[in-house]
Amino acid sequence: MRYIRQQIFKEIGKKGQEKLGKSTAAIVGIGALGSNSAELLARAGVGSLILIDRDVVELSNLQRQRLFDENDVGKPKALAAKEHLAKINSEIKTDFLIDDLNFGNIGKIFGKKIDLILDCTDNLETRFLINDFCIKYRIPFIYSSAVGSKGYVFDIVPNKTACLRCFLKEAAQLDTCETAGVLNTTTSMISTIQANEAVKILLRKDFEKNLLFFDVWKNELSKIKVNRNNNCVCCIKNNFEYLNGKKASKIVKLCGDNIYQIKTRRIDENQFNKLKNKLNNIGKIKHFYVQNIRTNILGSNGKNYQLSFYLDFGTGLWKLRI
């Protein structure tokens, strides 16, 4: 039997395994944390996984994103993850979405029954959006982050714990793996703890109530008590600023080598071609495809920069790589 060693563990057992098989978990962000957590949940037999990511696999990802290999470079992470998970466990259902999670589509994406959401994203705006959605619709989710040698995990269960906005105030830009680096041991540790807490929550077992902090370089572990903020704009006042779009940004810095996402109005191919002509006036276009532009421009500091634009027709979402 595939899960026999897990079923022997008394906290799970046969009934627990059956419950996992009937559960649905969504993983938002299939980077180092999300891909590792997704693999662990697939191996554990969580019956249905929903993978959401807007990015593609880069060579620099392979240092820590162990679900991928060199053949995946350039492929959408969500698609590559689905393909690998299918080889690991063909008994579970895996859906994937190559898209940006935003206030306009989060309700449709999570419209069906979801038991748990794993927050493995790379920016606070998306984290706060997930927080708003989960608090409003009473869906538990697990926050995780990892930069350098440090990482955090926090279980957020509506009406039972503090929410993200109880202790994180605004979506300011923090250190990322690009600015501070990251160890693969850090992401492995954090995703393992996140997946373990996911199993507990799905089985309705006692879960960790504290914010967990790890520093794998210094071998430090701390449990930080986080109380509900009596003036929290989200879980107390039910003011869902990110879910209703009031706090949505037009430009979001992504975790990667100078990658930004620009949110625009819907754009058609005619408008796209006009953009090509404008860019051609300010720099040399290296190549121009229907969904991909690369051009060189001369910066005010005298340096040449390469700009790459990636367009998703219909959503009007652009990615800009500098």
- Tokens linked to 47: 């019956």
Amino acid symbol at 233: V
Cα gap 232→238, rounded to integer Å? 8
Cα gap 131→76, rounded to integer Å? 25
Q: Pick the catalytic residue: 120, 134, 163, 177? A: 177
Q: Is 4 helix (H, G, I), strand (E, B) or coil?
A: helix
Q: Is 233 helix (H, G, I), strand (E, B) or coil?
A: coil
What residues does 48 pair with on adjacent strands?
24, 93
Which residue matches tokens 């879910």? Answer: 243
Q: Is 34 helix (H, G, I), strand (E, B) or coil?
A: helix
- Tokens linked to 186: 């850090």
Strand ranges across the sheet with 93-98: 93-98, 48-53, 24-28, 116-119, 141-147, 150-156, 211-215, 220-224
Cα gap 286→283, rounded to integer Å? 9
Cβ distance 261 to 100 under 8 Å? yes
Which residue matches tokens 């999300």? Answer: 34
Q: Please say if 255 is a catalytic residue.
A: no
Cα gap 117→126, rounded to integer Å? 13
Catalytic residue list: 177
